Structure 1
Amino acid sequence: MGRIAAWVVVFALATPAWAGVMSKAEFRLEVRDAIIRLAPKAKVEMEGDDTLRVAPPGSKPDDGASMFIGNAYERYLNKPEALETIVGQMARTVLATNDPAAVTKEDLVVLIRPIDYVTQPGFEKIKFLTRPFAGDFIEIIAIDGEETFQMTPADKITPLFPDEAAAWARADANTRTKMGRMEIDALEPGVWTITNESSLALNFVNQPDTWKIHGITMTGDPVAVFSQRNLLLLADGGDKDRLERVAAFVDQLAGDPEIISTTLFIRHDGVWSVLERKP
């Protein structure tokens, strides 16, 4: 697994780190200030490490949308001189998303995220469109604001469709279209990492019909790890020794703040579940 370790180091160092750039916390404050400049009476709260919850002026306490800044922060790191443009786009997008008329069928996407995305403080009274994935991960219908994703209450989405099943079908179809080209690296025979520019790479786990097209073939049950929000690790579970190496490597990443999960999921008969591991 030395090759995997080496690749992860390269991936982690791929983001520029020039002197003088803002930290993620500072960037989030810039976004918050930009929102308040556009809507001084808007309610903006910090959530987690990279999320803002925004409720427009005069809205009900449980109204509003959650905005994840991670994708935009990466854009800023790649082009710090575009700070004002990036922050301004995010502010306008999140304020527009709070307008039900601004939510369209074309903007819906499915995100795969830890369940705490919808159980964090402030979300208790809000119903989102979610469905279980496996373990502590769920799928969530969100709005693709181009600059960021927004968590939007179900009652702003369901009126667009005859039922929730239709909403999920449209969001799934949109997600495939918006994912674009996959960046796939074969780390060793039977082990691959998947990323893409749209920050929807985790959804590739639900597209086994396209794996072979991208050079991914399995001799056993597929195994997946959602290492980062846009970094999927796929492995062929048909080789026991390989699977043990992958598990050992993933365990070493536990506690790294950039890693969102070290859980191994396995797909058997078309259903994903947590891979039970011996102590």
Structure 2
Amino acid sequence: MDKKSKRKARGVAIFIAFLALATSLFILRKQGEDTPTINFKPTQNKYLALKWINKSKIEFSSDNITEAKAAIEAMIKRDSNKQIEKDTRSNYGIYIFSLPKDKKDEFANELARKGTIISRSEQVDTSLVYIDYETEQNRLNSYDKELTDLSMVRFPSETQIRRKEALHGLIAESTTKLEKLRDVDDVLVYVTAIQRQAGNTMVSKVKRFVLLFLAWLGFYFVGVVLVYYGTKLLMYLLTMLGIKGLGISGINYDKYASSYNYGGFKNYGERYQYGNNRKRKTKRVYKEKPSDTDKDSEESK
């Protein structure tokens, strides 16, 4: 192989390598974009808004999310005092429920056997810590009495109407606080269970990229080889059919042109070319002047 052919082959190889690299990066990025996302924000906001002295949040993942969700629901049914929220799909599950304090560690340990606990945190609602049950009960009684008195007014003013509406909200808030104070021995638990995504580590991503790159590199290499030899075969067939002017390296047209009468276009053209220093000899005949042959015939007479 000469230097020119080597340079061409090297250029094609570099192009194939860059093309395979770009394709692998595009596919890897596309796979990352296609990963489904889960919106935990609505249920998380609800969990934070609930008034509860003791709260616990658990993030959990499992290879078999269907089995894990069934186990969680069985534990909730067995140990929970109240289930507040349940949102399940094929690849995740969200649960908000209450547990007795002495059951929370047992629940977490049993959950860990079904998968992996990604994170676990506990919070204390400080807005309820310093609330005295008796004081809050007296406040509720006061709201109830005031609302009863306003309800007895036959034609209330606008101020009284607005106060009645405010009292309804205050009574609901105070009642909720009292309920949570009675549940001081319970824990509000928020569990998110998701399907573990295989191959999210950096090592697995690198392995997947290398495999993609090698696969596409082989695919493009085979494609280039097929295109090259397919083109040569096509040119050969066209030449056999007598179609000229389609140049491609590796095919000797003079060989296939020898079947013509003149042995090729070059030999055909040489029949009518005499070179720069060659002149074609011509014989001129002048009618006015008799030729030497005519003179000899007249003398013989």
TM range (shorter): under 0.3
TM-score, structure 1 as length reference: 0.23
User: Whose strand fraction is larger, Structure 1's or Structure 2's?
Assistant: 1
TM-score, structure 2 as length reference: 0.22
User: Whose helix fraction is larger, Structure 1's or Structure 2's?
Assistant: 2
Report the structure number with the largest CA radius of gyration: 2
